């Protein structure tokens, strides 16, 4: 395993410290563990918290900032944060407007966030939650009951975060977060695995002519292997599953071409070139496109396509001011 790290047991801590040192005007790290909060707490708004295992950078710390999250909790790589850690995050950001937890659907994350919420409620903090489940590749997996929450989660951070910033109440912020979840779908593929530092070896093996289709974001194999093919055909494969899942016809969408960590922008733009053409042919209007790394799997070579079906409220909130390290608007 060749990585620019110092010690396997220092990866998460040194990463979070390095992130906070890069963005001191945006981020502050709690003393109690790998929890990142806004440098300046804002009262009078619903506080948003998200998180999960590390290894998805810039998610989620990079999305802490004005118009997005108030806190991000980082567990060990691909490992749920502990309830105690999440509770510290909730307590640090809680306001009298309450707290919304944005949880990606993985059994461990859901369990630990819910446990933290119960503890917070006992301390008088009002907590609601949404669970993202945008991955159309699988209906369940080793790690999940139901669909997995993947890159589409970032749209929840952005849109619910923008509404929270206006001072909207917890029910309204919860409702728009849930609306995003109801309207976003994602699917991914990979041509090379990633290596979890503590494991020291890649999560799967692929021959030179193979790819994994239906990958999650925790380094696990996809739903199946297929023969490698031209980028446009890979994009079609993913798009077809997404477009079959909800009716996007005649609607406006936000598109995210998300890199898994080691896929160059060159390839993500080539994919977007085709995705844009296919959507245009189908009469689906692209309102906004995001190309880059939003929800990674360390250095996996892969990508996902997300489509969010928009309405006027979501369009306005997607374009509202944001000032987080990884999303400025």
- Interface residues with a second copy (CB under 8 A)? 2-7, 11, 14-19, 21-23, 54-55, 57-58, 62, 191-192, 208-209, 211, 228, 230-232, 234, 257, 261-274, 276, 286, 289-291, 293, 296, 298-299, 301, 303, 328-329
Shortest Å distance, C-beta 86 to a second copy: 21
Nearer to a second copy, 22 or 244 (CB): 22
Which residues are CB-contacts of 10 (< 8 A; sequence separation ≥ 6)?
none
Nearer to a second copy, 16 or 215 (CB): 16
Half-sphere exposure of 199 (CA within 13 A, CB side): 16
Which of the following is catalytic: 26, 157, 218, 224? 218
**60 labelled catalytic:** no
Contact yes or no for 95/73 (Cβ under 8 A): no
**26 labelled catalytic:** no
Shortest Å distance, C-beta 158 to a second copy: 14
Give buried/exposed letters for 53-75 (b at 16+ CB in 10 A, else e): bbbbbbbbbbbbbbbbbbbbbbb
Nearer to a second copy, 248 or 294 (CB): 294
Please state whether beta strands 285-292 and 224-227 pair in parallel, antiparallel, or not at all (unpaired). Answer: unpaired
Nearer to a second copy, 122 or 201 (CB): 201
Please state whether beta strands 47-54 and 99-104 pair in parallel, antiparallel, or not at all (unpaired). Answer: parallel
The whole-angstrom distance between residue 72's C-alpha and the CA centroid of its chain comes to: 11
Shortest Å distance, C-beta 265 to a second copy: 4
Contact yes or no for 305/256 (Cβ under 8 A): yes
Shortest Å distance, C-beta 255 to a second copy: 8
Which of the following is catalytic: 56, 60, 157, 224? 56
Active site residues: 56, 218
């Amino acid at each position: 395993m060749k990585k620019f790290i110092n010690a396997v047991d220092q990866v998460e801590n040194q990463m979070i410290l390095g992130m906070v040192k890069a963005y001191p005007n945006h981020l502050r790290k709690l003393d109690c563990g790998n929890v990142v909060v806004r440098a300046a707490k804002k009262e009078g708004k619903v506080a948003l918290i998200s998180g999960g295992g590390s290894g998805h950078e810039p998610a989620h710390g990079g999305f802490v900032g004005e118009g997005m999250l108030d806190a991000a909790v980082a567990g060990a790589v691909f490992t749920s944060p502990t309830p105690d850690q999440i509770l510290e995050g909730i307590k640090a950001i809680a306001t009298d407007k309450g707290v919304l937890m944005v949880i990606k659907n993985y059994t461990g994350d859901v369990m630990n966030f819910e446990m933290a919420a119960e503890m917070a409620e006992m301390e008088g903090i009002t907590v609601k939650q949404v669970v993202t489940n945008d991955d159309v590749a699988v209906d369940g997996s080793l790690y999940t009951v139901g669909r997995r929450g993947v890159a589409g989660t970032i749209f929840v951070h952005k849109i619910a975060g923008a509404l929270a910033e206006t001072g909207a109440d917890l029910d309204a912020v919860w409702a728009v977060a849930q609306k995003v979840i109801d309207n976003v779908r994602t699917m991914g593929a990979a041509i090379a695995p990633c290596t979890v530092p503590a494991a020291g070896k890649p999560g799967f093996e692929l021959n030179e002519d193979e790819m994994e289709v239906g990958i999650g974001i925790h380094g696990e194999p996809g739903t199946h292997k297929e023969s490698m093919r031209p980028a446009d055909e890979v994009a079609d494969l993913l798009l077809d599953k997404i477009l079959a899942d909800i009716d996007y016809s005649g609607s406006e969408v936000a598109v995210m071409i998300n890199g898994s960590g080691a896929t160059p922008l060159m390839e993500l733009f080539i994919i977007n070139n085709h995705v844009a053409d296919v959507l245009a042919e189908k009469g689906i209007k692209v309102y906004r496109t995001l190309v880059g790394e939003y929800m990674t799997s360390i250095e996996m070579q892969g990508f996902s396509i997300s489509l969010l079906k928009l309405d006027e409220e979501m369009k306005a909130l997607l374009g509202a001011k944001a000032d987080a390290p990884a999303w400025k608007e």
